[in-house]
Amino acid sequence: MDQVILVVYFVALSILTFFALHGFIMIYFRNKSKDVQFKALDKPLEDKVVTIQLPMYNEMYVVERLIDSVCELDWPKDKLEIQILDDSTDETTQIVAKKVEEKKAQGFDIVHIRRNNREGFKAGALKYGLQFAKGEFVAIFDADFVPRPDFLKQTMKYFSDDKVGLVQTRWEHMNYDYSLLTKVQSFSLDGHFVIEQHVRSKAGFLMNFNGTGGVWRKECIIDAGNWEADTLTEDLDLSYRAQLKGWKFVYLRDVTTPAELPAEMNALKAQQFRWTKGTVEVSKKLLPMVWKSHLPLKTKIVSTYHLIGSYAFPFILLSTILNVPLVFIKNSGYHEDFFNAMSIFILGFLSTFFLYFFAQKDVHEDWQNKIILYPLFMAGSMGFALNNSRAVFEALLDRKSEFVRTPKFKIEGKKDKWVDKKYKAKINFSVYIELLMAIYTFVGLVAAIYFMELAAIPFHLLSFLGYTFVSVGSLKHALANKK
């Protein structure tokens, strides 16, 4: 049995190291690649009509903030159309209707679009609205975003190149300081938005639309096959299909669009589940097309890393489970050579660490204060492994699920509250397994301390903290919702 555990553990860590080496690849091209040149005009294309699409489903707390911010965009009124794609089933619809009338009276071309059903979820709403869109270009904002007035002037000037199909901006987090949960989320997202998206764009690799905070050329959407609802990440799906058709994407790291981070644990878990499952669904759908294409080999490799990243979660979960008996196996006095060889896996840790190190250093003046969140980010990655592994397996088994949108509560400052509001995220039964995992990893931590396994203690501690943070946070927030 010891041999089986050792072999499985070695394989799991080998696979995780393979995934983690993606960080070194990103850092290499960050330093080596010159920016792909996209000609930007001195002035934006203000003679072009832009349609703003605002897809929403039960967003009563943030919808007015969103509509007000969009109406403050610095763009000629006669060249701006605003579509409220409202699939709501609550009082959001009445709030929107009243706001639309107010903005129409101010001279805005704004329409309130309702469907008879929620078919296709967000993808279905975007596709439905697109058939009525007047604009040659389409900007999309989720309900939790607050675009800056100069958003269109910063993005539209890059469409001077007829092959540019999308311009994406970086997400900024307006409630970063709200709680430890939002701080760790912000840290995690910076790895994607500051390094990964920036490197993919500057090196000419395939990148993705992030679902919001970007502008599409309408012709590009239609040419790529339009929005499809067969995955939970319709944004990633359309992005790859468009680029495989030859369209170019531009990422603006230094142009930011503020957004609200989930402040409640169960809402975050639902979001992570959707993103993870959707990415696996897209990988199954489009990876064969990537490898059959005429893209350069390095682009195919980077794209593969991009699309299969979520597959790491089951191996994180497996390594966490096996790490507890490993403490006892190591102290049996055998397999010393095996454990000495395990030091090679430090490469995976270093690769991930440097990716997030540069993500903070590249855009934050106070990066020294932010990089200390790295251990908590690692703990959170372990704590979310069970939730996200379930998403991976559901996608691999082709089990379809509803698009569960992330609840928004208009949490902008520390004084804002969410516990007394609607849209409570449901607690999943898996939280009780996460609680058992917290107890299980605590046993491993105690054993590592007892046997003085100094090298193993940090891993056990992070696992324990991660599962405790996720499980206790889920239960605590669920109980708060019931008050």
In angstroms, what CA-CA distances link 411 with 174, 175, 212, 263, 462?
9, 7, 19, 7, 28
Is the four-CA dihedral 88, 93, 95, 97 of positive or negative sign? positive
* Catalytically annotated residue among 87, 142, 144, 190: 87
Compute CA 34 distance to the chain's CA centroid, rounded to the nearest angstrom: 26
Catalytic residue status for 90: no
Instruction: Please give the Cα distance from 211 to 205 (Å, whole number).
Output: 19
Residue 183 · residue 373 · CB < 8 Å: yes
Residue 212 · residue 141 · CB < 8 Å: yes
Residue 280 · residue 392 · CB < 8 Å: yes
Is the four-CA dihedral 130, 132, 134, 140 of positive or negative sign? negative
In terms of phi and psi (left: phi > 0; alpha: psi -120 to 50; beta: otherwise), the region of 133 is beta
Catalytic residue status for 78: no
> How many CA within 13 A on the CB side of residue 382?
25
Q: How far apart are the first and last CA of the chain?
A: 49
Residue 70 · residue 147 · CB < 8 Å: yes
Residue environment code for 66-103, b if the CB has 16+ CB neighbours within 10 A, otherwise e: bbebbbebebeeebbbbbbbbbbeeebbebbeebbeeb
Q: Which of 379, 384, 355 is nearest to 471 (CA)?
A: 384
Residue 213 · residue 169 · CB < 8 Å: yes
* Catalytically annotated residue among 86, 142, 190, 235: 235
Instruction: Please give the Cα distance from 158 to 214 (Å, whole number).
Output: 12
Instruction: Please give the Cα distance from 87 to 119 (Å, whole number).
Output: 10
Residues with active-site annotation: 87, 235
